[in-house]
Amino acid sequence: MQSDQIIETQDGSHSILSHKYGVSYHSKYGAVTESRHVFIEAGLYPKLLTSTEVDILEIGFGTGLNAFMTFIEAEKKQLKIHYEGIEAYPLSPDQYQQLNYAELLKYPEHQKKFLQLHEAAWEEEISLSEHFTIRKVKKLFEQIDKKEKFDVVFFDAFAPSAQPELWEEAVLKKMYDALRKEGILVTYCAKGVVKRRLKALGFTVESLPGPPGKREMTRAIK
The contact set with ligand SAM (CB under 6 A) reads 25, 60, 62-63, 65-66, 86-89, 140-142, 156-158, 163
Specify the residue, 79 or 157, whose C-beta has the smaller distance to ligand SAM.
Answer: 157
Smallest distance from ligand SAM to CB 195, Å: 19
Smallest distance from ligand SAM to CB 156, Å: 4
Specify the residue, 26 or 130, whose C-beta has the smaller distance to ligand SAM.
Answer: 26
Smallest distance from ligand SAM to CB 25, Å: 4
Specify the residue, 93 or 202, whose C-beta has the smaller distance to ligand SAM.
Answer: 93
Return the residue nearest ligand SAM (CB atom). 62
Specify the residue, 89 or 202, whose C-beta has the smaller distance to ligand SAM.
Answer: 89
Smallest distance from ligand SAM to CB 28, Å: 13
Beta bridge partners of residue 217, listed in sequence order: 208
Q: Which residues of 144-181 are buried (b: 16+ CB within 10 A; e: fewer)?
A: bebeeebbbbbbbbbbeeebeebbeeebbebbbebbee
Smallest distance from ligand SAM to CB 33, Å: 13
Specify the residue, 49 or 121, whose C-beta has the smaller distance to ligand SAM.
Answer: 121
